[in-house]
Amino acid sequence: MVPVLPGLFVGGAAAAGALQAAGVVALLSVDAEEPPPVTGIRTLHIPARDEPGTDLLSHLDSCAAFLSAARAGGGAAMVRCHAGVSRSVALVTAYLMKTNNLTFEEAYATIKAIKSDAKMNEGFESQLKLYEAMGCKVDVSSAVYKQYRLQKVTEKYPELQDLPQEVFAVDPTSICQTLNSEVLYRCRKCRRSLFRSSSILSHAEGSGPAAFAHKRITNPAQLRNDSRVKCTSYFIEPVQWMEPVLLGVMEGQLLCPKCTSKLGSFSWRGEQCSCGRWVTPAFQIHKSRVDEMKALPVCGFQTAKT
């Protein structure tokens, strides 16, 4: 076991016998199997394999709270996994980011300087970079986290059957629009409410025409054009009215649930935005097929956004 901060250790399963001698009062275990209990030591177990697809991001805040509580009480805490190289290193790196206001690179470099064999897998690296992008706090309402959750769904449910309900945003027809800041998007043809502004998953602008060179641009002058093509679609989280269409199907059209006019398309494998950015998974609504409606503070009334 290696000391990282005063009252914080990281290590592998082999260090179990030295816990009490080091003053450890709390053990955070991240492993496929939960270790046997140790008398006098509080434990928190995160069931996880050392695989890039394993979800650690969702547990980072609770793990940080567990470690901070132990250290605040005057005792020491230890984070352990089987080898003490990847999973435990990822959690300690996240803890340093959150408590010491460090970037991912700074926190990871700190751990590697202390523990030469530290090497988390690339999936954990990506998750910690997302954690940094969220301000070292898991914000389940953020576009970053929603996109991450959708990617995990495709890994956990490859047949896309019995998807968890938390994946779907609430159908705006079943709730009361009362917030001035919320924009409602309606079908341009029949005016049926489709989604809210909080469901839009923004993405970084792509490289424009050059991104489509492999399939439809043959004029070199077009490829040298530095102008960027604006996004002509909204990429959103799936909404409850989409569920019957999405289950068990990798891709298809998105139709208005009321008038069946075409709104866009979806693909769990991903689709390319008009700006050139590839979005995975993709639930794409063409901007030309919907209208923005600004909600009034009185429930049930909306007005066109100007």
The domain that contains 228 carries what CATH number?
A: 2.170.150.20
180 and 273 within one domain = yes
106 and 51 within one domain = yes
- Residue 100 falls inside a structural domain: yes
- Residue 98 falls inside a structural domain: yes
- Known catalytic residue at 275: no
179 and 127 within one domain = no
Q: What are the strands of the beta sheet with 183-187, ordered from one edge?
A: 193-196, 183-187, 290-295, 302-304
Rounded Cα distance between 97 and 112, Å, is: 14
- Residue 160 falls inside a structural domain: no
83 and 7 within one domain = yes
Residues of the chain with pLDDT under 50: 177-178, 217-219, 221-223, 226, 298, 300-301, 306
Kindly report the CATH number assigned to the domain that includes residue 53.
3.90.190.10
- Residue 259 falls inside a structural domain: yes
241 and 132 within one domain = no
Structure tokens at 148: 């991450």
221 and 116 within one domain = no
Q: What is the pTM of this model?
A: 0.76
169 and 125 within one domain = no
Specify the number of domains making up the chain.
Answer: 2
224 and 184 within one domain = yes
Nearest to 145 by CA among 123, 167, 165: 167
Domain hosting 83: range is 2-138
Name the active-site residue from 81, 187, 231, 275: 81
289 and 170 within one domain = yes
Nearest to 79 by CA among 194, 1, 149: 1
